[in-house]
Structure 1
Amino acid sequence: MNRILRSFDYFDAIAAENFLRSIKQASLLLDFDLLDERQHESLAETLTTQFRYLTVSTSYTKSKRYGFDLSHYNENEIKTRVRDKRFWKSQIRKRSKELLSELERCIGLVSNRRAKYCGDLTYGRFRESEQKSNEFLERHFIQSLDGERVSLKEISEHNTTNKQILFYEWITRVKGFDELAERYGHASMMVTLTCPAYMHATHSRSGSLNQKYDGQTVRECQRHLNTVWRRVRAKLKRDNVNIYGMRVVEPHHDGTPHWHLIVHCEEPELKQVKRIIKHYALQESPNERGALERRVDFIDIDRAKGSSASYLAKYLAKNMIGLDSEGEGCRRVSRHATDCARAWASAHSIRQFQQFGGASVTVYRELRRLRDETLDPLIEPARLAADASNWATYCEAVGGVSVSSRTQTIKPYYEQSESFNRSTGEIIEAGQSENVNRYGEPKSKVVKGLAYAGKVRKTRTKLWTIIASPPQSDASPPARAACRGNGGHLGLV
């Protein structure tokens, strides 16, 4: 550090040392460095010892002071989890990657001029984590009681864990909603919601630190947008206005989130929906310079020019699979840029893609597991539509365009799974007291099939267990591609 500081004058050197000291202090917890993965094991042991005999209320308070949010666990869940070292290790890893990403963002290492969407260290950790996950999938199999064995890697390549398959499913759903809107004469628009200026860490053009930035984290920015949207939905519900569509969350160049939404509603209610969205989007700092122009933006979809799928497709592609070549109205986005956006979402635990309104995607996926004709008129039309990837007809078959998860005619059926004792080979039936998770709690119910008209049709009947094979690889993760300079080839916004 002294060699680096030698080129600065005395006062600059003192300021730099204080700055580095403050960064170091921010990463310390109980004298352990959260950013040093080698210390996570020892920190987890220390936290386990500290929390072992604490009351529930004290555990809540102390964990919050240490920076862990455990508010979504109930009292019984807290008692068992704070005494488990594996639980603390997962919490520490989560906190560590978020802290690292926030530090890179706050000191100006995430911008158009540096590294877009996330810093180099965050990206490197994400790639390393992906490689470990892939190696785990390659080394493990699921095996049924009758001896059938399938690789977890093969399974992941044929479900929505595969980003290409997830992209196709989303395009199917976006296109299906657009078909429904066209059938019923509904209006469609694209809405972009952004955060106030004080939530942005750096300027877009220069990449310099934003003097108005008040230290809001990415999670706090996302919470702000979520609050705006919850208020919009609540107001629309009070006014009996039904909307449906899709939402994509992506980062600005400096990692601050913004939303793109495709919204469908009845034509006479379009102006009312716009007014409500604008009202709540501008509740925070409404007089800020540029707020009226940039905080919320509406684009009415003209189907003569393109469907809503064509409007949202590039945002889905940019955050899932990347774009290999330029298309009409769409810049080229490298897979590297897409990986940076995914690393950003992973670091801050952000759900990037979400549907609002319309029929259940869980039911849609379970119907697609039924390959043979059911001979049941209550379920067969929906099964045929799902099997043909016809989202619009599927929605109509389970209740129509305004259907919700509570009112649709076919619902997911949940049931506690059986489990398998590996040491004895004994099957532990659902509901038995021995059928518990590692915290001694009854295992959660999982989707087992479909429920409709008082009937149940099982879609998952086999009992599987995971088995491991010897390690396959110890390769190092690939290095991050160069992203210095003006960032002109990294795409997004």
Structure 2
Amino acid sequence: PHHDGTPHWHMVLWFKPEDLEKATTVFREYALEEDGDEPGAEDYRFEAVQEDKSRGRAVGYIVKYISKNIDGHGLDDEVDQETGRPLKEEARRVKAWASRWNIRQFQQIGGAPVTIWRELRRLGDRELVLSPEVEAVRAVADASDWQHYTMYQGGPFVARDDLTVRLYYSHTENGNDYGDTVSKIEGVYSPFSDAEDLIYTRTASYNIVPKLNPAPGGVLPLTGREAAPWSSVNNCTQ
């Protein structure tokens, strides 16, 4: 956040050259959609900068901001320009702030979905011999190999309809107090597998139950409770 607690985004996006102007216009319109005429909004709500390779790569730019929001890795000698504090110290503050206000700090757009990666890692080292297509992706996910996970899922530009492994949801009508249909992840599957079986990743269920009543306690007669303190102060514990 800024020093006044305002959350903001740093985004690295790639577009086809012919789409760049239109995309920039759309982003600016959304940024100014609400109270866009207030003082400073036109100048500070949105800024688009094209990559200048003479100053470094876009990935290096965003990696620094990721580090500033996790643990300050690689930023030992740098300080925050607004507060003057070390960035490694500020990273802890940012994590606490994001946790307190339930703010998502990072979001990937496109590529192989991270939710499937997480579901596969729930399986641990359980080998899926009947589903070799899923097993190949599970193995690299379990090995924390994001590069091969991405490639086995169909590559960095894979469409959702072409993913090797996909999520399976169950749907419950009137599943909450508002009568909404509730979707819940049950597991993963692959439409390219001969088995086409659902592989469950969530096998435990939890229920909210009332808190147990405290056990009745007895009364202990404490002799001497009105006695003078052992020292000149009443809060002595020695």
Higher Rg: 2
| Residues 301/377 of structure 1: CA separation in 2 closer, same or farther (3 Å cut) | farther
**Structure 1, residues 31-89: CA drift from partner, whole Å, max 9, x if none?**
xxxxxxxxxxxxxxxxxxxxxxxxxxxxxxxxxxxxxxxxxxxxxxxxxxxxxxxxxxx
Q: State the distance in 1 between where 2:132 and 2:55 align.
A: 39
Instruction: Check whether the contact 2:134–2:189 (CA below 8 A) recurs between aligned residues.
Output: no
Matched, 1:341 2:94: yes
Partner of 1:247: none
**Structure 1, residues 393-445: CA drift from partner, whole Å, max 9, x if none?**
433432444445565332223569xxxxxxxxxxxxxxxxxxxx9x9xxxx87
Partner of 1:397: 152
Partner of 1:313: 63
Instruction: Check whether the contact 1:412–1:449 (CA below 8 A) recurs between aligned residues.
Output: yes
| Residues 273/388 of structure 1: CA separation in 2 closer, same or farther (3 Å cut) | farther
Q: State the distance in 2 between where 1:397 and 1:285 align.
A: 45
Q: How far does residue 325 in structure 1 lie from its aligned partner after superposition? A: 0.4
Q: State the distance in 2 between where 1:253 and 1:320 align.
A: 18
Q: State the distance in 2 between where 1:370 and 1:262 align.
A: 32
Q: How far does residue 379 in structure 1 lie from its aligned partner after superposition? A: 2.3
Please list, as runs of the form range in 1=range in 2, the aligned pairs for 1:287-298 lying within 5 A after superposition. Answer: 288-298=38-48
What is the letter of the counterpart of residue 116 of structure 2?
V
Q: How far does residue 283 in structure 1 lie from its aligned partner after superposition? A: 3.8
Q: State the distance in 2 between where 1:409 and 1:372 align.
A: 18
Partner of 2:76: 325
Q: State the distance in 2 between where 1:268 and 1:384 align.
A: 40
Partner of 1:432: none
| Residues 299/350 of structure 1: CA separation in 2 closer, same or farther (3 Å cut) | same
Q: How far does residue 377 in structure 1 lie from its aligned partner after superposition? A: 4.3
Q: How far does residue 345 in structure 1 lie from its aligned partner after superposition? A: 2.9
Partner of 1:363: 116
**Structure 1, residues 165-209: CA drift from partner, whole Å, max 9, x if none?**
xxxxxxxxxxxxxxxxxxxxxxxxxxxxxxxxxxxxxxxxxxxxx
Q: How far does residue 254 in structure 1 lie from its aligned partner after superposition? A: 0.9
Partner of 1:383: 138
Q: State the distance in 1 between where 2:137 and 2:52 align.
A: 30
Q: State the distance in 2 between where 1:332 and 1:284 align.
A: 35
Q: State the distance in 1 between where 2:200 and 2:31 align.
A: 44
Instruction: Check whether the contact 1:319–1:338 (CA below 8 A) recurs between aligned residues.
Output: yes
Partner of 1:457: 199
Instruction: Check whether the contact 1:413–1:450 (CA below 8 A) recurs between aligned residues.
Output: yes
Q: How far does residue 300 in structure 1 lie from its aligned partner after superposition? A: 2.5
Matched, 1:277 2:24: no
Q: How far does residue 364 in structure 1 lie from its aligned partner after superposition? A: 0.9
Partner of 1:419: none
Q: How far does residue 275 in structure 1 lie from its aligned partner after superposition? A: 2.3
Q: State the distance in 1 between where 2:54 and 2:127 align.
A: 38
What is the letter of the counterpart of residue 133 of structure 2?
L
Partner of 2:18: 268
| Residues 352/463 of structure 1: CA separation in 2 closer, same or farther (3 Å cut) | closer
Give the total of aligned pairs: 192
Structure 1 SS opposite 2:164: coil
Q: How far does residue 267 in structure 1 lie from its aligned partner after superposition? A: 3.9
Q: State the distance in 1 between where 2:149 and 2:52 align.
A: 25
Instruction: Check whether the contact 2:150–2:156 (CA below 8 A) recurs between aligned residues.
Output: yes
Partner of 1:194: none
Instruction: Check whether the contact 2:187–2:200 (CA below 8 A) recurs between aligned residues.
Output: yes
Unaligned 5+ runs, structure 1:
1-250, 417-436, 466-493
Instruction: Check whether the contact 2:169–2:184 (CA below 8 A) recurs between aligned residues.
Output: yes
Q: State the distance in 1 between where 2:204 and 2:36 align.
A: 56
Instruction: Check whether the contact 2:125–2:139 (CA below 8 A) recurs between aligned residues.
Output: no
Please list, as runs of the form range in 1=range in 2, the aligned pairs for 1:76-95 lying within 5 A after superposition. Answer: none
Partner of 2:107: 354
| Residues 460/407 of structure 1: CA separation in 2 closer, same or farther (3 Å cut) | same
Q: How far does residue 333 in structure 1 lie from its aligned partner after superposition? A: 0.9
Structure 2 SS opposite 1:271: helix
Give the % identical residues.
Answer: 36
Q: How far does residue 297 in structure 1 lie from its aligned partner after superposition? A: 1.5
Q: State the distance in 2 between where 1:384 and 1:305 align.
A: 39
Matched, 1:253 2:27: no
Greater mean alpha carbon deviation, residues 345-354 or residues 269-278: 345-354
What is the letter of the counterpart of residue 357 of structure 1?
G
Instruction: Check whether the contact 2:120–2:141 (CA below 8 A) recurs between aligned residues.
Output: yes
Instruction: Check whether the contact 1:370–1:459 (CA below 8 A) recurs between aligned residues.
Output: no
Instruction: Check whether the contact 1:281–1:295 (CA below 8 A) recurs between aligned residues.
Output: yes
| Residues 390/272 of structure 1: CA separation in 2 closer, same or farther (3 Å cut) | farther
